[in-house]
């Protein structure tokens, strides 16, 4: 991954140093940033810029450095051989003090044989020099832009003026990348990592450090040691078990469903937990403590039963019909007899 930033100058530490007859006089502020010469009187002046580059991470690798010019109109006059130099380093004091060390400070990077245009970005490696080691990740990086022209048949005075306005000033552009993996050891350091899923492993050792990690699911393993440190981690599912002890502490957890088990002890603490459904068990002991927890299912429902009832007995008896008979009568006589009555 590459990151970059455009750094603005610290206005209280940037500006110009004016040199005349062995005296260095500072002028701070964006409106005073210019460089040039006045041959008749022996004047000479140089522009200075201080950039706070401490936001760059310590482990970043600087890959690109450029000076971005913002310009305004220059006064009349030009030398026969124009030359503008750019230097970089850490040479400005707590403020722009106007010292010989600031005037002469910095490592030369680039020389331009013509005035730069407004919004010109100058790669500080274009002349084959490397500015990367001069970027200060812990404080200020200073840039000096100075006139090194030769008058020859040119005018007796000239200047190059920087910064267009308070919100349009020269900038330092820095780009950097991050290393993928770094192992640093003093003495002996070794690392072995086996990764089967999304995971990360890092080891840093002073003396002797060893780490072995085997990851079968989402996990991370890190070992840091002064002297000797050893760590082995094996993760197979999304489960957690934690034990923290001062003195002696043991914990045993058997999980069959979603749960958490933890034990903390001072002196001697022991915990055994068996959980078969949703549950949690925690033991904290001072001295000696023992806890066993078995969680079972909820009780069954209340017993109930239904018995059938026979209907009321009933019976019906049939009755015989009444007897009837007819008797014959002799001719020339008639008689009728009624039915017999049942007893």
Listed in sequence order, the residues at least 6 apart from 102 whose beta carbon sits closer than 8 Å to its beta carbon are 17, 24, 48, 91, 92, 93, 96
Q: Do 25 and 61 reside in the same domain of the chain? A: yes
Asked whether residue 252 is domain-assigned, the answer is yes
> What pLDDT digit, counting tens, does each position of 157-177 carry?
999 999 999 999 999 999 999
Q: Which domain holds residue 188?
A: 182-238
User: 48 and 92: one domain?
Assistant: yes
pTM above 0.85, yes or no: no
75 within a domain of the structure (yes/no): yes
Assess if residue 327 is contained within a domain.
no
Same domain, 70 and 119: yes
Same domain, 125 and 205: no
Query: Are 223 and 250 in a shared domain?
Result: no
Tally of domains in the chain:
3
Is a pLDDT exceeding 60 seen at residue 194?
Answer: no
Q: Which of 154, 177, 200 represents a domain boundary (last residue)?
A: 177
Q: Where are the beta strands (DSSP E) in the chain?
A: 2-7, 15-20, 23-28, 34-38, 43-52, 61-68, 84-89, 107-112, 121-123, 140-147, 157-161, 171-177, 185-195, 199-215, 219-235, 241-255, 259-275, 279-295
Domain identity same for 85 and 54: yes
- Residues 153, 6, single domain; the answer is yes
At residue 180, the pLDDT reads 73
Of 270, 296, 322, at which residue does a domain stop?
296
Which pLDDT belongs to residue 204?
A: 53
CATH number for position 82: 2.60.120
């Amino acid at each position: 991954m590459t990151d970059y930033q455009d750094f603005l100058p610290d206005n209280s530490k940037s500006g110009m140093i004016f040199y005349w007859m062995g005296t260095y006089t500072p002028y701070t502020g964006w409106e005073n940033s210019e460089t040039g010469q006045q041959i008749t009187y022996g004047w000479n002046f140089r522009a200075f810029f201080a950039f706070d580059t401490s936001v760059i991470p310590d482990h970043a690798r600087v890959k690109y450095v450029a000076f971005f010019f913002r310009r305004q109109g220059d006064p009349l006059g030009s030398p026969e051989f124009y030359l503008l130099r750019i230097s970089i380093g850490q040479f400005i004091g707590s403020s722009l003090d106007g010292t010989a060390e600031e005037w002469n400070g910095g490592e030369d990077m680039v020389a331009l044989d013509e005035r730069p245009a407004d919004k010109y970005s100058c790669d500080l490696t274009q002349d084959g020099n490397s500015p990367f080691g001069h970027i200060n990740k812990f404080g200020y990086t200073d840039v000096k832009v100075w006139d090194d022209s030769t008058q020859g048949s040119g005018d007796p005075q000239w200047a190059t003026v920087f910064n267009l306005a308070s919100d349009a000033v020269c900038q330092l552009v820095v780009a950097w990348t991050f290393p993928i993996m770094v192992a640093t050891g003093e003495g002996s350091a070794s690392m072995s990592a086996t990764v089967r899923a999304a995971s990360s492993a890092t080891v840093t050792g002073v003396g002797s450090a060893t780490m072995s990690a085997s990851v079968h699911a989402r996990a991370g393993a890190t070992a840091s040691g002064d002297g000797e440190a050893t760590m082995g981690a094996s993760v197979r599912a999304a489960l957690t078990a934690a034990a923290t002890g001062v003195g002696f502490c043991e914990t045993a957890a058997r999980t069959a469903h979603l749960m958490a088990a933890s034990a903390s002890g001072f002196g001697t603490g022991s915990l055994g937990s068996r959980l078969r459904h949703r549950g949690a068990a925690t033991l904290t002991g001072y001295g000696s403590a023992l806890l066993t927890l078995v969680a079972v299912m909820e009780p069954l429902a209340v017993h109930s039963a239904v018995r059938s009832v026979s209907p009321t007995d009933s019976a019906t008896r049939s009755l015989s019909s009444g007897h009837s008979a007819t008797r014959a009568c002799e001719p020339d006589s008639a008689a009728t007899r009624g039915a017999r009555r049942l007893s």
